[in-house]
Amino acid sequence: MSAETPVCQLLSRQDADYRGWWWVAPPRDAWLEAGEGVAVSADFAVRAAWRARGRPACSPFAEALPETPAGAVLFWPKSHALGEWWLLWLCATLPAGTPLQLVGENQGGIKRVLKVLAALGLGCRKLDSARRCTLFATRLAPVDLPPEAAWTVFEADPGGGRLTLASHPGVFGHNKLDDGTRLLLETLPEALPAGEGAMRGNAGDVLDLGCGDGILAAWLARRGHAVTAVDVSAFAVEATRRTLAVNGLAGEALESDVYSALGGRRFSAIVSNPPFHQERAIDYGPAARLIAEAPEHLERGGQLILVANAFLPYAERLESAFGGFEILADDRRFRVYRAVKKRG
């Protein structure tokens, strides 16, 4: 089977035996998923794809990791700080001397790896380059900086009281309050009155879909709503759990590829600032599924409230899924949409 992505095309031409290796933060690629080794990924959808093929995959937050590998390949992510976290995690998790290869696209910053490795006291050599990608090799060694050092907290006041937010590289809104989320939070008090769900005693009252650092989940929980928060990223789910905990708030946070982990659960409201990027490419897939499948996960009269960049083509999708919608706010950069389930 031929490799599909440039980084995997580069790897596929290596004279290397990757049996028993870990593929760390891998992209979706049929060559990888049909090959050897174990996927270690914070992306729930990637792990599900591997498992669907009968291949082993785990999260870096798993209580029990697979057996120590013969080596590891780290796919350098778009977020340089996230790549550094993966390096620290590998150094803390695997034995000293474990072979490590690092691969990435040149325009994605892979060549900066040389400085990162040097700062950690790790040697490095270039193995190959092609398809505008580069492959480096090193060996792991103990470093003084623990992976936990990548976690930060910051304060935000979105209205209704200051919140402390846990943040991790690669999580949306890292160390700042996104302007679209701010507009959504300014709109929600009127659209979603405080405590409405909590007074009904509905444990799954409001769903925060694509929870990121947990600001929406925490804001909703503080206003008396019973909150379930989901995200495809294990980093986001962990950030949301930490955000709820540090603010003394209750809520459930789950890894989920859109609605995949929720079964037939229904909610009185779904709120979201959905993603539309996958690395550097625009990808409407998750947002399209969020809208199309929302009626199946709403009670009758339940509402979907989402914020999106004004240029994104969500109006037709909302019309198709709900038969109508309204715009609650529009500051020319972002729009807040609401659609209500009228039947079923």
210: Cβ–Cβ under 8 A, 6 or more apart, which residues? Answer: 172, 230, 231, 232, 236, 272, 273, 274, 275, 286, 290
Is residue 16 a contact partner of residue 42, using CB atoms and an 8 Å limit? no
Helical (H) or strand (E) element with 8: helix 6-12
State in words which class domain 151-340 has.
Answer: alpha beta
Q: Residue 104 CA to chain centroid, in angstroms?
A: 19
Model confidence over 35-89: pLDDT tens digits?
999 999 999 999 999 999 999 999 999 999 999 999 999 999 989 999 999 999 9
Q: Is 182 helix (H, G, I), strand (E, B) or coil?
A: helix
Model confidence over 77-135: pLDDT tens digits?
989 999 999 999 999 999 999 999 999 999 999 999 999 999 999 999 999 999 999 99
**Helix and strand numbers, DSSP H then E, in the chain:** 11, 18
The strand pair at 281-282 and 277-278 is best described as: antiparallel
Q: Is 59 helix (H, G, I), strand (E, B) or coil?
A: coil
If pLDDT is split at 50, 70 and 90, which confidence band does 277 have?
A: very low
Is residue 322 a contact partner of residue 314, using CB atoms and an 8 Å limit? no
Q: Where in the chain is the domain with CATH 3.40.50.150?
A: 6-148, 151-340
Average pLDDT of the chain, as a whole number: 92
At the topology level, CATH places domain 6-148 in: Rossmann fold (3.40.50)
What is the Cα–Cα distance from 114 to 92, expressed in whole angstroms? 20
Predicted TM-score (pTM) of this structure: 0.93
Q: Could you give the maximum distance between any two Cα atoms of the chain, in Å?
A: 63
What is the Cα–Cα distance from 150 to 84, expressed in whole angstroms? 9
